[in-house]
C-alpha cells in the first residue's frame, strides 16, 4: 500500500480517485489550490453524496454554508482583518478541539506535523513571522475557490460531533472521486465572532470548522505526506484463530 523505501502513497491529489482505497490514500490536506472555479452543481453533488453519512438515529446534525466568489472574498478579508486587529491570543475556538494539557504520544505527533510542514516550506523554528504567514493562509482558504462553513445546533451532544466527523470525511472522499481536494480547517472556528457577524449565524448554532475545496495546485506544500501509526500499535485483535 505504502512504498516502504520512500514512504510514498501510491495515489496523489489532483487525479480523480476510482475506488474507495484510492480516495482514502489520495486524500491529504491540500494547502494550495488553483483559482479554477468549482461549479455549484458539483459542490451540491458532493454534499448530496456526503448526506448519506450515517448518524445516530438518523438525526443528520450538520448545517453547511458554501461560500464562493465575492462572498468568499468578503469573509476571507473580514477574518484576516479581525486576526490582524485582535491578534492570535483572542482568536480562539469556542470549544476545545485539543487536550488542555498536551502529553505524549500526542505532543510528539503534533510537533512532527508542524516541523514537517514548516520544514518543507523552509520556515525555520525561530521564524515566528513565517509560521504566522503560513497560518493566516487558513483565512484565505489556501486560495481555494470554495469554502465550507460547518455548524451544529448548540444544544446537540457529543454523539453529533461523532456524526459530524464522518460527514466531513464523506465530503473529503466524495471530493477526491471528482478530482477535487480539500483541507478541513479548525482554524476557521477561531474566527467564530466574525463568521457570526458576517454570515448572520445565530447563537443557537455552534461553529464547528471550515473546509477549503477546489483543485490542488502543484505546490511544495502539497507534497507533505503525513505519517500514521501501524495498525498493530492502536489495535488489539482478539479471538482470531
Residues engaged in binding ligand FMN (CB under 6 A): 28-29, 31, 113, 138, 183-187, 209, 226
Q: How far is the CB of 29 from ligand FMN (least distance, A)?
A: 4
Q: Which is nearer to ligand FMN, 16 or 39 (CB)?
A: 16
In DSSP terms, 29 is beta-bridged to: 182
Q: Is 199:149 a contact under the CB 8 Å cutoff?
A: yes
Nearest to ligand FMN of 8, 40 (CB atom) = 8
Q: Identify which of 62, 70, 98, 64 has the alpha carbon closest to the alpha carbon of residue 211.
A: 64
Neighbours of 201 (CB within 10 A): 17
Q: How far is the CB of 190 from ligand FMN (least distance, A)?
A: 8
Minimum distance from CB of 225 to ligand FMN (Å)?
7
C-alpha to C-alpha distances, 235 to 110, 228, 241, nearest whole angstrom: 21, 13, 16
Q: How far is the CB of 65 from ligand FMN (least distance, A)?
A: 17
Task: Pick the closer one to ligand FMN by CB: 43 or 182.
Answer: 182
> Could you tell me the smallest distance in angstroms from the CB atom of residue 138 to ligand FMN?
5
Q: With respect to ligand FMN, which residue has the nearer C-beta, 41 or 231?
A: 231
Shortest distance, position 137 Cβ to ligand FMN, whole Å? 8
Residue pair 92/190 in contact (Cβ under 8 Å)? The answer is yes
Are 156 and 61 spatial neighbours (Cβ–Cβ below 8 Å)? yes
| Phi then psi dihedrals of residue 132, to 5 deg | -65, -40
Query: Cβ closer to ligand FMN: 70 or 117?
Result: 117
Per DSSP (E only), the strands in 168-219 are 181-185, 205-214
> Strand 205-214 to strand 146-153: parallel, antiparallel, or no bridges (unpaired)?
antiparallel
Identify whether the C-beta of residue 29 lies closer than 8 Å to the C-beta of residue 22.
no
- Cβ distance to ligand FMN smaller for residue 66 or 212: 212
Pairing relationship of beta strands 62-68 and 146-153 according to DSSP bridges: antiparallel
Amino acid at each position: 500500500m505504502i512504498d516502504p523505501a520512500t514512504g510514498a502513497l501510491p495515489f496523489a491529489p489532483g487525479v480523480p480517485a476510482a475506488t474507495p482505497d484510492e480516495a482514502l490514500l489520495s486524500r491529504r490536506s491540500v494547502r494550495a489550490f488553483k483559482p479554477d472555479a468549482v461549479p455549484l452543481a458539483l459542490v451540491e453533488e458532493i454534499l448530496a453524496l456526503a448526506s448519506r453519512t450515517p448518524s445516530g438515529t438518523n438525526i443528520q446534525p450538520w448545517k453547511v454554508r458554501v461560500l464562493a466568489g465575492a462572498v468568499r472574498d468578503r469573509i476571507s478579508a473580514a477574518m484576516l482583518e479581525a486576526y490582524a486587529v485582535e491578534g492570535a491570543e483572542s482568536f480562539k475556538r469556542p470549544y476545545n478541539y485539543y487536550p488542555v494539557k498536551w502529553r505524549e504520544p500526542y505532543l510528539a505527533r503534533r510537533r512532527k506535523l508542524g516541523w514537517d510542514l514548516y520544514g518543507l516550506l523552509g520556515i525555520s523554528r525561530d521564524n515566528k513571522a513565517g509560521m504566522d504567514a503560513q497560518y493566516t493562509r487558513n483565512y484565505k482558504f489556501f486560495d481555494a475557490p470554495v469554502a465550507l462553513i460547518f455548524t451544529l445546533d448548540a444544544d446537540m451532544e457529543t454523539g453529533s460531533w461523532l456524526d459530524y466527523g464522518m460527514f466531513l470525511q464523506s465530503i473529503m472522499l466524495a471530493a477526491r472521486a471528482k478530482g477535487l481536494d480539500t483541507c478541513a480547517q479548525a482554524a476557521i472556528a477561531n474566527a467564530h465572532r466574525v463568521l457570526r457577524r458576517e454570515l448572520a449565524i445565530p447563537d443557537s448554532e455552534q461553529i464547528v470548522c471550515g473546509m477549503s475545496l477546489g483543485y490542488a495546485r502543484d505546490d511544495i506544500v502539497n507534497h507533505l505526506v503525513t505519517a500514521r501509526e501501524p495498525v498493530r500499535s492502536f489495535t488489539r485483535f482478539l479471538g482470531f484463530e
